[in-house]
Amino acid sequence: MPPDRTEAPEAIRLWNADGPTTLLASRDRDTGEWVFPPVPAHSPLSPRHATVPVAGDGTVYSFTVIHPAPKTGQPPYALGYVDFAGPVRIFGRLLGRERPAIGDRYAAEPDPTYGYVFRAVDR
């Protein structure tokens, strides 16, 4: 008989529970490769991955500015890839500047809608 699929899968934990608020990723124990989002505990891959903090600020690798249709009433917003030490490259919303630039510094912060966003860091 197939397993019961009526239960929702466990939510992926993006932020550490204790200490300073830090975004989490996973690191392969054999290769050292980092992945985001972190591998969930119920995954068959979890034994070979360690959960690790994504520490410090990241650098914009690439970005685009989205211009929603005028009838939506939404202002333009930026999406981009941010490189962090590890190394790990993470995609998300870029806040704090009207138009980011490649090489700008951004920090991850919790967001109730998206789980995380990146906020510009003044140099």
pLDDT band at 8 (very low <50, low <70, confident <90, very high): very low
Span 41-83, pLDDT tens digits? 889 999 999 999 998 999 999 999 999 999 999 999 999 999 9
pTM: 0.85
Task: Give me 108's structure tokens.
Answer: 């991850």
Q: Which amino acid is at 94?
A: L
What are the CB-based long-range contacts (under 8 Å, 24+) for 15-24? 15/110, 15/116, 16/53, 21/109, 21/110, 22/53, 22/54, 22/55, 23/53, 23/54, 23/90, 23/108, 23/116, 24/51, 24/52, 24/53, 24/54
Per-residue pLDDT, 85: 94
